[in-house]
Amino acid sequence: MWEQLYEKVDQLYDRMVEDRRYLHQHPELSFEEKETAKYIASRYDELAIPYKSNIGGYGIVATIEGGKPGRTVALRADFDALPIQEENDVPYKSKVDGVMHACGHDGHTASLLAVAEAALEFKDELPGTLVFLHQPAEEYAPGGAKPMIDEGALEGVDAVFGTHLWSNTALNKIETAKGAFMAGADRFTVTFKGKGGHGAMPHQTKDPVVMAGQAIVELQQVVSRRINPLQPAVLSIGKMEGGNAFNVIPDTTSLTGTVRILDKEVQGKIIDEMHKILKGIAISYDAEYELEYIKGYPPVVNHEVETEYYLNSADEIPGVTGSEEVDPIMGGEDFAYYLEERPGAFFFTGAQIEGHAYPHHHPKFDFDERALPTAAKALLHGYKKYQENNS
């Protein structure tokens, strides 16, 4: 049955491309994916697969109950886009000004829809239950995973698997890691409150621009000098704001940045050290500071047994060219919340276009659509192996 199921997925390639390209042309930002959700729901209506809408926002949860006893396994795909103006010259280019599927979520959705359509044909032979989690708002914290979980998306689910099409990895190669695989992703804003004045009379001011400049340098020491080098962490400043004229010292200046961690204990240490540095700077200038620290997604921590399905038996997946355990990356993913609740694994499906290896979140991002059926079959592989190992 499994061989025929994988063959059915391959036969749905044209439909996957059609779904992907439609979604790519009609992207919607996080928390605004009303029409995308309608499109996904319409596909389940066509297939007569039962589903629930508006779970944790625009989330959709569909279910296929197999004809044989087994466990309940959830497979997840996200479907939001990014505020990016597409620069690709392709027939399926985004039709929405300033919005683009620049991360592959259109492909994730197309692959999961194909899994559902293929599984339906073999429903009577399937063990247990398949749950299809179509999740909104992955790109922007607080994200869509946590609200879906809070509204019962994982009720009755025994395990969960997800994949990300990865434009920097060779076509149809699987990459993952046991334990921490992706980073916790936080953001922060520091505001220095000083005293403005004329640029020619700085002695009469409490210059927040200088404070901010000093903070940019000293905050780098949090990771380089205050965190164990064996515990990966990143602290980066991405934006500085303050002032309106070349010859005026402003009252306030702010810095905005991100922190990435693989260990929650490191997160607390970084916050404490940031406060020490910022307080010291503010005191030395007889000024004040505020730190708004927003904890984003936790680290994606894969479960060892379920991850080994992809590291030890990926050659069972037709079309996969190999698998490799890789170092964790410092990008964030709210799939982390599912793995905090249930055993499972998250993995990359290689989708690199030869000669067009633009990174995720780039205006020229794209992926090789031949990865779509591979991603679908790899998701099914997680479901298959979990059933075999927990029957």
* Active-site hit among 19, 78, 138, 366: 138
Is 78 labeled as catalytic in the residue annotation?
Answer: no
Omega within 30 of 0 (cis) for the link into 142: yes
> What DSSP string describes 332-351?
--TTHHHHHHS-EEEEEEE-
Q: Percent helix, strand, coil in the chain (nearest 5)?
A: 35, 30, 35
CA gap 133, 40 in Å, rounded: 11
Q: b or e along 61-72 (b: 16 or more beta carbons within 10 Å of the residue's beta carbon)?
A: bbbbebeeebbb
In sequence order, the β-bridge partners of residue 253 are 192
Question: Residue 177's Cα: distance from chain center in Å?
Answer: 16
* Active-site hit among 78, 80, 158, 273: 80
Please, are residues 182 and 336 in contact by the beta-carbon 8 Å criterion?
yes
DSSP 35: H
Is 186 labeled as catalytic in the residue annotation?
Answer: no
Please, are residues 293 and 188 in contact by the beta-carbon 8 Å criterion?
yes
Q: Could you list the active site residues?
A: 80, 138
